[in-house]
C-alpha cells in the first residue's frame, strides 16, 4: 500500500539515519541469535541429562562475574561464554545506538539533544562499570 502523501523530512534524522540505526539493531539481533543459539545448543548437547535443579544450584558461575574467566571461557569455546558474548553484544549495540543518536544530533546542530544523548551514553557506561560493582 502506498500513500500519495510523503513523510516530512527531518534534517537531523534523514532517512539514511533511520536506515543506519535499523541496520545496527538488526546486526545486533542476528549476532545475538547466532551466538546464543550456538552456545545454548552446544551446552545442551554437552549436558543432555542435566536437571534444572542442578543448573539452579550451580548458579551463573565465574564466567559472568569475572572478565578474565569470561575471556578464558571464550578461548576454550565454553558454551556459556558464547551465550554471554551474545548478551554483551546486545548491550553494546544499545550503547552504540545512543552514541549514534548523539552524533546525529551534533551533526544537525541540535546541541541540547546531542548533550542529552551523550549524557545518557555516559550514564549507561558508568552504570555498567561503576555503579554495578559498587552496588554489588
Partner 1 sequence: MLLWVLVVALLLTAIGAGFLGSLVGLGGGVVLAPVMVLFFGIPFGFAVGASAISVLATSTTSGATYVQDRLTDLRIGNFLQIATVPGALLGATATVLLVHSDLVPVLLILLGIVLFVSVPGSLAMRHEEDPPLGPGDAVSQHLKLEGAYLDRRQNRVVRYRGQNSVSALGVMFGAGIVSGLFGIGSGVLKVLALDRSLRLPMKVSTATSNFMIGVTATAGIGVLLVGGLVLPVLAAPVAIGTTLGSFGGSRVLPDLTNRLVRWLFVVVLVVLAIETIVRGAVQL
Which phi and psi (to 5°) does residue 11 adopt?
-60, -30
Contacts (CB under 8 A) with partner 1, residues 69-128: 80, 83-84, 86-87, 90-91, 93-95, 97-98, 101, 104-105, 110, 112-113, 116-117, 119-120, 123-124, 126-128
Binder among 25, 69, 99, 106 for partner 1 (CB under 8 A):
25
Binder among 1, 67, 68, 109 for partner 1 (CB under 8 A):
1
Contacts 24+ apart (CB under 8 A), 15-23: 17/104, 20/100, 21/97, 21/100, 21/101
* Cβ closest to partner 1, residue 12 vs residue 72: 12
Q: Is 67 in the site for partner 1 (CB under 8 A)?
A: no
Within 8 A by CB and 6+ apart from 70, the residues are 63, 64, 81, 84
Number of residues this chain uses to bind partner 1 (CB under 8 A) = 74
Q: Please, is 35 exposed, middle or buried when counting C-beta atoms within 10 Å of its C-beta (0-12, 13-18, 19+)?
A: buried
Say how far apart CA 114 and CA 117 lie, in whole Å: 5
Q: One symbol per residue from 32 to 51: x for binding partner 1 (CB under 8 A), - otherwise; what is it?
A: xx--xx-xx--xx--xxxxx
Binder among 71, 77, 107, 131 for partner 1 (CB under 8 A):
131
Binder among 60, 71, 77, 107 for partner 1 (CB under 8 A):
60
Amino acid at each position: 500500500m502506498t500513500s500519495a502523501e510523503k513523510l516530512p523530512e527531518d534534517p537531523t534524522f534523514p532517512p539514511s539515519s533511520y536506515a543506519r540505526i535499523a541496520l545496527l539493531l538488526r546486526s545486533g539481533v542476528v549476532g545475538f541469535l547466532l551466538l546464543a543459539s550456538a552456545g545454548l545448543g552446544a551446552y545442551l548437547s554437552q549436558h543432555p541429562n542435566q536437571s534444572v535443579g542442578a543448573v539452579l544450584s550451580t548458579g551463573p558461575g565465574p564466567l559472568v562475574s569475572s572478565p578474565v574467566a569470561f575471556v578464558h571461557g571464550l578461548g576454550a569455546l565454553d558454551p556459556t561464554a558464547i551465550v554471554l558474548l551474545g548478551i554483551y553484544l546486545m548491550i553494546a549495540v544499545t550503547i552504540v545506538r545512543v552514541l549514534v543518536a548523539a552524533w546525529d544530533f551534533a551533526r544537525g546542530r541540535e546541541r541540547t539533544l546531542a548533550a542529552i544523548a551523550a549524557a545518557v551514553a555516559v550514564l549507561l557506561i558508568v552504570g555498567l562499570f561503576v555503579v554495578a560493582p559498587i552496588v554489588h
